[in-house]
Amino acid sequence: MSRVFIVGLGLIGASLAKNIKMNQPKTIIIGLDSNSETTRYALKYHIIDEEAPSFEQGVHQADVIILGTHIQITLDYIKRLNALDLQTEKIVTDVSSVKKPIMDVAKELTNSSVKFIGGHPMAGSHKHGIEAAKSHLFENAYYILTPVTSGLDKQIQILKDLLKPTKSYFIELSEKEHDKMTGIVSHFPHLIASSLVHQARNWQDEYPFIPKLAAGGFRDITRIASSNPDLWEDILFQNKGEMVQFLSEWIDEMKNVRELLISNNHEDVHQYLDLAKTYRDGLPKKKKGALPNFYDIFVDLYDRPGELYKVMKKLAENEVNIININILEIRENMTGVLRVTLQTEEEQWTAMKVLENNGYEVSLEE
């Protein structure tokens, strides 16, 4: 019987706890969180089996330690491992979105009982906190491992066996490779999404109708701006070097686009848009990437009493779990007045077939 100590019971930590609990019920899960209400919630709903009295005691009791805290807090915990007199080997991993600062500190560990393996499950949600945790959050997602040193094959395999039921795809990268690539496809897009929201907000006084027009595609492409600001402040500053470089490149890119428009260069603008479309259309559709996936269907409805109820009833009868519904006033690029957001791709296709079989026109946004 193994014992796993999860420090930080937010979205990622609690989702890992739920997955381990569901698939490996004999494993004892010990939890610790700075928020006592979060810990009480975890115990009440059996997400964890025990609460650790302290970080040090939790480490002593466990075989595997998962640090699910913000990066700066994780760094402090790693440093505290050095002072512990450990009688047995401890496999320690984290879930941080930036790896260089984590691995720099981990490489300074002198406690021979601590075997550190950097980790980053590349799945998430625009929601946060233990209430948003899901056991299937990591399905088809990349789970990046960054061993602190060579010779940890045995420990890596133990960690993979523990996390195998997440149905993630494990890959090993150096911290430099990880931070560059996740910076490009995750951290930097978050900055851009937030900047787009600020631009809309800045024009709102002059054009008060902007929020209503933004309810369609604009809201979709800026969803990630609704993520936890505390978490993302930490991520952006920990990966500051990459962010500054990408911002400089982005500013140059936008200057070039501006010049194309000013000079009425239709051919080059068309080529710019076409190259972007081609690259985007070629991206994998089934695997989860660095940004959270959303599984939407769009349903064409008549504006008459009872229509929404009928749709919801059909989906409920087929045990389709709905995350959100939204009536679209702006729908230039899709068919359907009703957007239904589902948890998984499987539920997305189930909902589509159920409604089509009942005479509704349903579409997916590619």
Residues 318-332: pLDDT tens digits?
Answer: 888 887 777 765 444
pTM: 0.73
For residues 67 and 41, is the Cβ–Cβ distance under 8 A?
no
Q: Which two tokens stand for residue 208?
A: 């008060």
Which residues sit opposite 362 in a β-bridge? Answer: 299
Which residues sit opposite 322 in a β-bridge? Answer: 342
Give the pLDDT mean for 217-223: 80
The sign of the CA dihedral 5, 58, 144, 95 is: positive
For residues 329 and 349, is the Cβ–Cβ distance under 8 A?
no
115 has pLDDT over 90: yes
Which CATH fold topology does 178-281 show? 6-phosphogluconate dehydrogenase C-terminal fold (1.10.3660)
pLDDT band at 201; cut points 50, 70, 90:
very high
334 has pLDDT over 50: no
The sign of the CA dihedral 256, 193, 143, 97 is: positive
Angle at 248 between CA 243 and CA 250, to 5 degrees: 90
272 has pLDDT over 50: yes
Angle at 261 between CA 258 and CA 264, to 5 degrees: 150
Indicate the domain borders of the chain. 3-173, 178-281, 295-363
The pLDDT tens digits of the residues spanning 225-255 come to 888 898 889 889 999 999 999 999 999 999 9
Q: Which two tokens stand for residue 65?
A: 């330690």
Per-residue pLDDT, 328 = 61
The pLDDT tens digits of the residues spanning 43-96 come to 999 999 999 999 999 999 999 999 999 999 999 999 999 999 999 999 999 999
The fourth-level CATH superfamily of domain 3-173 is NAD(P)-binding Rossmann-like Domain (3.40.50.720)
117 has pLDDT over 60: yes
CA dist., res. 263 & res. 147, Å (int):
51
Q: Which two tokens stand for residue 271?
A: 């080529």
For residues 143 and 166, is the Cβ–Cβ distance under 8 A?
yes
The sign of the CA dihedral 203, 209, 211, 216 is: negative
Q: How would you write the chain as a 3-class SS string?
A: CCEEEEECCCHHHHHHHHHHHHHCCCCEEEEECCCHHHHHHHHHCCCCCEECCCHHHHHHHCCEEEECCCHHHHHHHHHHHCCCCCCCCEEEEECCCCCHHHHHHHCCCCCCCEEEEEEEECCCCCCCCHHHCCCCCCCCEEEEEEECCCCCHHHHHHHHHHHHHHCCEEEECCHHHHHHHHHHHHHHHHHHHHHHHHHHHHHCCCCCCHHHHCCCHHHHHCHHHHCCHHHHHHHHHHCHHHHHHHHHHHHHHHHHHHHHHHCCCHHHHHHHHHHHHHHHHCCCCCCECCCCCCEEEEEECCCCCCHHHHHHHHHHHCCCCEEEEEECCCCCCCCCCEEEEECCHHHHHHHHHHHHHCCCEEECCC
Nearest one of 166, 124, 169, 130 to 291, comparing CA atoms: 124
Give the pLDDT mean for 342-357: 87
CA dist., res. 6 & res. 216, Å (int):
39
Per-residue pLDDT, 330 = 43
CA dist., res. 148 & res. 94, Å (int):
12
What would the CATH number be for the domain defined by 295-363? 3.30.70.260
Per-residue pLDDT, 332 = 42
Q: Which two tokens stand for residue 25?
A: 């019920």
Averaged pLDDT of the chain? 89
For residues 67 and 7, is the Cβ–Cβ distance under 8 A?
yes
